[in-house]
Structure 1
Amino acid sequence: MHWRIITVGKPALPWARLGLEDYLYRLRRVARVEHIVVKEGPREQVEAQLLQASVESLRIILDERGKAYRSLDLARWIEQKDIQGTKRASLIIGGADGHSATFRQQADECWTLSSFTLQHEIALVVLAEQLYRAYSILRKEPYHRE
């Protein structure tokens, strides 16, 4: 599956940028993944850019009201989508204003990384790490311990 991680704005915090680079490097050894950045602006314009960037893919938005997955569940979800032939999945992290109700309704799925509201750069690093963890589970590598 080809993953698109779509965010509003580039990570500005140096540690977040380094964390993202590290996990994207690891992920690219086992999956196709790209990070797409859309420009910040009014929510309507941002959401239009997010929709355009996620065209022809399974749209998954990250929001604190979404469905929570355990790491093992995410690995099984990926395995099922691969079996079903899903070609592309877009993981969409909003900006400071989050996602509108209308935008959430346009998504195929809505996930949460935490019941806390996470700053978007933190969410980006956590998401990349969890994708990497899911693939390490599928490959039966020792990264995940349970």
Structure 2
Amino acid sequence: MRLRVVAVGRPRLDYARLGVEEYAGRIRKYAPLELLYVREAQELLPKAEGHRKVVLDERGRLYTTEELYRLLRGWEGERVAFLVGGAEGHLEAVRKGADLLLSLSPLTLQHELALLVLLEQLYRLLTLRAGHPYHRP
């Protein structure tokens, strides 16, 4: 699976920026990862062209780690783009262009924190796939 994460704006908060760098490096040990930043929400969909589009949205579906793992296993060999909105969330066109609306929590997360949580979960799923002890039930 080839992963692309497209986010509106670069993380500016130190904890988020450092965490994103840390988990992006960890992920790349298990799967190809492109981490792209755009300035405007309308730039998200064009950057995900040719990929299965997973849009992070508080109104999306909640998955357990195991459920999300099974879903992603079904996408092996595909290119998957995860789209993270900015402070204002997503445009309706982005939601409508999604193959999956994914919620990381029923809480509204600050967008830099959402990006960090997404990367941690992707790392967790990849270690689960590799049989690495990071993931525990």
User: TM range, normalised to the smaller chain?
Assistant: over 0.9
Identity of aligned residues (%): 42
For the 8 Å contact 2:44–2:94, the answer to whether it is kept is no
Counterpart AA for 1:124: L
2:85 matched residue in structure 1: 94
CA RMSD of aligned residues (A): 1.1
Cα displacement string for residues 103-122 of structure 1 (whole angstroms, at most 9, x for unaligned residues):
21111111000011111100
Counterpart AA for 2:108: T
- Give the 5 Å matches for 1:1-146: 1-40=1-40, 46-47=41-42, 49-82=43-76, 85-86=77-78, 88-146=79-137
Runs of 4+ deviating beyond 6 Å: none
Listed as ranges, the gaps of 5+ residues in structure 2 are none
Task: Give the 3-state SS of the residue equivalent to 1:6 in structure 2.
Answer: strand
Counterpart AA for 2:23: Y
Listed as ranges, the gaps of 5+ residues in structure 1 are 41-45
Counterpart AA for 1:120: H
Deviation of 1:100 after TM superposition, in Å, equals 2.6
For the 8 Å contact 1:50–1:92, the answer to whether it is kept is yes
Task: Give the 3-state SS of the residue equivalent to 2:135 in structure 1.
Answer: coil
Q: Distance in 1 between matches of 2:69 and 2:62?
A: 13
Cα displacement string for residues 1-58 of structure 1 (whole angstroms, at most 9, x for unaligned residues):
1111100010000111110111111100000111100014xxxxx22x1111111111
Q: Distance in 1 between matches of 2:116 and 2:92?
A: 25
- The structure with the largest alpha-carbon Rg is 1
TM-score using structure 2 length? 0.95
Q: Distance in 2 between matches of 1:144 and 1:103?
A: 31
Counterpart AA for 2:51: S
Q: Distance in 2 between matches of 1:13 and 1:97?
A: 17
Task: Give the 3-state SS of the residue equivalent to 1:63 in structure 2.
Answer: strand
Task: Give the 3-state SS of the residue equivalent to 2:54 in structure 1.
Answer: strand
